């Protein structure tokens, strides 16, 4: 995998409030971004797991913690797709 390093500046108070060290914050931020991008349909589960730096199984578990469905179809889309059959 070809990787790129991204650096951001944050107020130290953010880390203090969240009680996280910079490395832990970076991991949490990657996971949160991956979950959100998956939730809005920008990336697949496997891509999201890769962004988050976890296995696909761990990513699916994280979706539950964030109350995000592992399915990218909503009920109306499933009904519409099955109605044609």
Q: Which of 66, 71, 80 is nearest to 44 (CA)?
A: 71
Tokens 């909503």: give the residue: 74
CA distance 28 to 72: 22
Taking the CB of residue 52, how many other CB atoms lie within 10 A of it?
Answer: 23
pLDDT score, position 84: 66
What is the predicted pLDDT for the residue at 79?
A: 78
Please give the model's pTM, rounded to 2 decimal places: 0.80
| Structure tokens given for 44 | 């697949």
Residues 6+ apart with CB under 8 A from 54: 31, 62
Cα end-to-end distance, the chain, whole Å: 40
pLDDT beneath 50: ranges in the chain: none
């Amino acid at each position: 995998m070809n990787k790129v390093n991204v650096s951001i500046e944050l107020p130290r108070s953010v880390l203090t409030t969240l009680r996280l060290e910079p490395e832990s914050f970076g991991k949490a931020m990657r996971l949160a971004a991956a979950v959100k991008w998956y939730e809005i349909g920008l990336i697949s589960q496997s891509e999201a797991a890769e962004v988050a730096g976890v296995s696909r199984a761990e990513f699916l578990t994280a979706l539950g913690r964030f109350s995000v469905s592992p399915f990218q179809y909503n009920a109306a889309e499933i009904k519409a797709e099955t109605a044609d059959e």
